[in-house]
Every structure is written in structure tokens, then in C-alpha cells.
Amino acid sequence: MSAKSYPAEQHALKTFSKLLDLLPPVDQSKPQILLLAGETTPYRNDTDREMAFRQESNFFYLTGCKVPSSYLLVTFQNGTSLANKPSSQLFIPKAELADLMWSVPPPSLEEATATYDVTRVDHPASLPAAIQELIKAFPGAIVHTLPASPLFPTIPSQYTAPLLAANVNLTEDYLLPAVHLARLTKDAEEIALIRRANEISSRAHEVVMRVLGQGVRGLITRGKGAGTERPLLPGEWLIQKEAEAEALFVASCRREGAEHQAYLPIVAASTRASTLHYCCNDREFAWGPVNPTDHKNCNDLAHDHERALDPQVLLIDAGCEWNCYAADITRTMPVGNGGKFTPEARAIYELVLEMQRLSLEALKPGLHWDAVQLLCHRTLVRGFQRLGIFKKPDSPNSGSWNAEEAILASGVSSAFFPHGVGHSLGLDVHDVPSASKPAKNDTIKGIELGHESFYAYLRLRLPLEEGMVVTVEPGIYFSPHLLAPVRDSKHIDQAVLKRYESVGGVRIEDVVLITKDGHENLTTVRSDTEWVEKVCSGEI
């Protein structure tokens, strides 16, 4: 998709529509002006070494422009021609000789005019005069900026000074909530970008699984001098560490043209999978002694003949961006044990899969996201009662206090599923927080909530709408830190729990689009147990 086809003007109109809804009635007919700064190129501490640049999300939403150090002026007024076609002025840096020598220069004004969906393109030196002109042309205008915060690029005083000198109504109260509300639902162009990010990320997850499977089958062979006389080539790489799995994932995304990961990849093996945002990814897999008759692991997956991979899970929560739009996918895969889950890990995996399946089946416009959260906890409680981790009313020395509703009301399931079932996704992986979880929220009144702890970390608390893109990511974890407060719970059979604690954690996450009648899953890599085991064992 070219930048010109990115619907910046439509995004501006949508933002102004939300902005007018937020303004007091007396201000809705006044001219509205948006002034935004794009992100600047970051540098490593006090050096001149550039770090990866990524455009500020709200600026990109209104411009489609990824040029560093740019600025935007957008003018709108109800009841005029600007109500249908706002004036959008983009200011991009002028290419200097040093830019040509050291890095890729910004586009020329002619190139930018042909590229971006804006009314006019100029250099930042022209921005003060453009502001002065708007002040004269639109007396009484309200100028909106993003909040003065480390979270957003700063607008230099040379550009705000004309506004302050003219005593213009300059406010940061409305723009951020307006643009967040606009971004909450996605248009066709945005959905296409999210779909592409998910396709690339899905293939990267499968690449890791298949390399694990090749290792199990002994299909990864090393040529003469590999690792001694010459470096290992990509086709000779084994995955024996979290970092090696991360490297393959990121390389797969980059090979398909993705510039950035949408967030730091989480690659957690063994019991480290119980840490929700584990992103150090610096440990080896768990290893144990090789028994004389143990042929479940190929020698290619051992550093020597005295160790073999312990049966464990590898949880990878990772997704790339495509043209600033995110993917967010989690897959949990078996490592060791010949690429098969242990009985305990398989039971937890299939319970998480059931939590996700029931959630997906329920999705449709109008359904409150809180109801999906409660459904996941209810499914977990029922599953734990089947497995014996949670007691039943007819368990030995039990009673009605271990009924499903009583366990739900206790909130003990939050020790095993502490996070939200999902969140809005778009230009940011945890998208539009002020709109997804508004400070004042009348939508949760009268909804069956269960225990309040279920919602402590839920990032979306709204009824679903057509065009929303959300993640569905239930999980079950055995974190010693979270389990400590419930060690003496009357609902838990501690002897049974002990058998499952070595699983660490399981999470399964897909990105879905809410459609008119239900949902569409944008994540293409499979997660059914049989397929995952066959791929990770090298059977297919």
C-alpha cells in the first residue's frame, strides 16, 4: 500500500467528528486547528549514533508520514467547506548535505506532495508563518495539541509562541481522547495492514516450530568445519536457547520486509513462561541427564552426550509491524519429550485452547468485553475442577463452598489467570488506552462481573463494535509469586497443583476483527494441539 492510499484525510474527518462530540456546545461551531509534532530520531545516550526510528502513532494516523521531525497543521470548521475537506499542511525537514552524506534524506517537497494525503507540504521554517496566517484567517479558533508529556513529541516553543502571543485558545484536553476514539475502530486500509502484519508474524512463529521439529528429527546437519573453521550458516542453526528462537523469529519477519517488531518479543522457556512480560530472552532451555535408553531427543539437540532437553514449554509472544500497524500473537510449543507435550502440559494447553475457543465463539458487536473475561475465568474453574486442581463439592472433606460459583466469587482463579483476555490493537499493540478503558465508564453498570480482581489488568472494558480489532489471549500460569497467597486456599488441592507447577505457563493469542455478524481471525498460524505437536516433533 502506497502512502497516498493511506486515508489520512478520512482519519482527520473521523477525529474531528469525535472532537466535536467532546467539545462544549458553545465551541462546536468554532474553527478547530490541530498542531502535532512527529517523532524525532532518537540517539544512544549522549552519542551521535542513531537508534531505530518509529513515527508517533497519532501523527502517523493523521498523515501516513514516517519522516522524522515533521509537523502537521489541520484546520476544520463545521458549516464550511472545511467540514468535508479539512486543510492539512505537512511540514517535513529540508534535506541538508549532511543528510545526503550520512543517511537517507527526507523526500523533496514534490515527492512528498505526490506521496501523502495532505493539502500542502512545506519545510518547518514555514510553519510559524502558516500558524500566523491561520490565526488571522480564523479568529476565535481553538488550537488542539497532544498533552505535554514524555509520551509524546514536544512542539518547540518557536511554533507555540505565535499562539501564546495572540492569546489563542490553546488546549491539550481534547485531541488525544478524540484521536483515540477515532482509532478504536479500523477502516479497510488499516485492516489490510494489520492482516499483513499477522500473516508475516504467523509465518515467523511457524518457522520457529519447524526448526524445532527438524532438530528433533536430526534433519539439521552441519557441514565441514561448521562452528570451528567457519561460522554456522542459518540452515545449520539449532534452537537451544531463548535468544536463538527470538533471532529466528525476528529474522523471518525482516526477510519479509517488516521494519519493526510491534513490541519486545517474549520468548520464555520452562517455568519462565509464568512471567507475563518476560522479554530478556537470555536463558538456555532446561536440560537434564540423558538416560542410557532415552531416545526421545536427538543428539543434535544436546550439547554433549550427558544431557538432554527436559520436557518443557516454549512460550513465544511476538509480532511485527507492517507500515506501523501491529500484530500480536502468542504460541506455546513443546520442547523436549520428542516435541510432544507432557500429559500435564497438554492438559493445561487444551484448557487454554478451550478458553480461547469459547471466547471466539461468543464474539459479536454489542457483547461487552467484561463478559468474555468472566467466561474465561468460568471455563478455567470448570477445567481445574475436572483436573482436580480445584476441589468440587463432592471432593473429600469438601462441601458447597467448592461449588463453581463459590470459587468464582472467591477470585482465586486470578492467581492462575491474572491478566486480561485481550486488548485493542492497531497502530500500537496496546492500542488507544484512553478510549479502550475510559476513566468514566457507564458501560459496565449492571454487568455480571464475578470477582473484581478479574478486571484489574483488563485493557479493554467496552461493548464490542464492528471494526474493532482485538486480541484474544487467555492463559494459565503457575507463578510462585502469584501462588504464594493462595497456598492455603480451601478451594485448591495442593497435592494435585504440585504436579502441574512445572508447566510454568501457557498462553494462546490471536488477533481478531469484529465483523457485522461475529469475528474474523486475522492470525493464520494454527494452534490446535495435534498440529503443534506434529510440527514441533518434525512429523510434518
In a domain, residue 339? The reply is: yes
Tell me: do 109 and 236 sit in the same domain: no
> Residue 319's closest CA among 398, 266, 358?
266
Tell me: do 426 and 398 sit in the same domain: yes
Which structural domain range is residue 240 located in? 188-224+231-537
In a domain, residue 84? The reply is: yes
Tell me: do 166 and 195 sit in the same domain: no
Tell the residue number behind the cell numbers 461493548, with chain if given: 463
Give the pLDDT confidence score for residue 296 in this predicted structure.
44
Tell me: do 204 and 171 sit in the same domain: no
User: What percent of the residues of the chain are helix, what percent strand, and what percent coil, each to the nearest 5?
Assistant: 40, 15, 45
In a domain, residue 310? The reply is: yes
Q: Which of 183, 200, 216 is the last residue of a domain?
A: 183
Tell me: do 134 and 196 sit in the same domain: no
d(Cα 358, Cα 372) in Å, to the nearest integer?
Answer: 9
Q: Which of 156, 183, 210 is the last residue of a domain?
A: 183
Tell me: do 366 and 333 sit in the same domain: yes
In a domain, residue 414? The reply is: yes
- How would you label 256-291 residue by residue, b for 16+ Cβ within 10 Å and e otherwise? eebebbbbebbbbbbbbbbbbebbebeeebbbeebe
Tell me: do 78 and 172 sit in the same domain: yes
Tell me: do 356 and 410 sit in the same domain: yes
Q: What is the count of structural domains for the chain?
A: 2
At residue 163, φ and ψ (nearest 5 deg) are -70, -45
> Residue 525's closest CA among 333, 247, 279?
333
Give the pLDDT confidence score for residue 291 in this predicted structure.
53
Give the pLDDT confidence score for residue 303 in this predicted structure.
41
Contact partners, residue 212, CB within 8 Å, separation at least 6: 239, 314, 333, 335, 339, 536
In a domain, residue 135? The reply is: yes
Which CATH number characterizes residue 148's domain? 3.40.350.10
Under 8 Å between Cβ of 470 and 424: yes
Under 8 Å between Cβ of 443 and 461: yes
> Residue 85's closest CA among 6, 7, 183, 13?
13
Give the pLDDT confidence score for residue 99 in this predicted structure.
78
Tell me: do 365 and 411 sit in the same domain: yes
Which CATH number characterizes residue 348's domain? 3.90.230.10
Under 8 Å between Cβ of 477 and 515: no
What cell was used for 36? 502535532
pLDDT tens by residue, the chain, 540 residues: 555 689 999 999 999 999 999 999 999 999 999 999 999 999 999 898 999 999 999 999 999 999 999 999 999 999 999 999 999 999 999 998 887 888 888 999 999 999 999 999 999 999 999 999 999 999 999 999 999 999 999 999 999 988 888 889 999 999 999 999 999 999 999 999 999 999 999 999 999 999 999 999 999 999 999 999 999 999 999 999 999 999 999 999 999 999 999 999 999 999 999 999 999 999 999 887 545 444 444 444 434 445 688 999 999 999 999 999 999 999 999 999 999 999 999 999 999 999 999 999 999 999 999 999 999 999 999 999 999 999 999 999 999 999 999 999 999 999 999 999 999 999 999 999 999 999 999 999 876 778 999 999 999 999 999 999 999 999 999 999 999 999 999 999 999 999 999 999 999 999 999 999 999 999 999 999 999 999 999 999
Measure CA 533 to chain center: 26
Tell me: do 55 and 179 sit in the same domain: yes
Tell me: do 248 and 167 sit in the same domain: no
In a domain, residue 3? The reply is: no
Tell me: do 206 and 301 sit in the same domain: yes
- Other C-beta atoms within 10 Å of 498: how many? 11
In a domain, residue 1? The reply is: no
Q: Long-range CB contacts (< 8 A, 24+ apart) of 98-103?
A: 103/50
Give the pLDDT confidence score for residue 452 in this predicted structure.
93
Report DSSP letters for 446-492, one per residue: T-----GGGGTT-S--SB--TT-EEEE--EEE--HHHHGGGTT-TTB
Residues in a beta bridge with 90:
72, 121
Give the pLDDT confidence score for residue 300 in this predicted structure.
43
In a domain, residue 2? The reply is: no
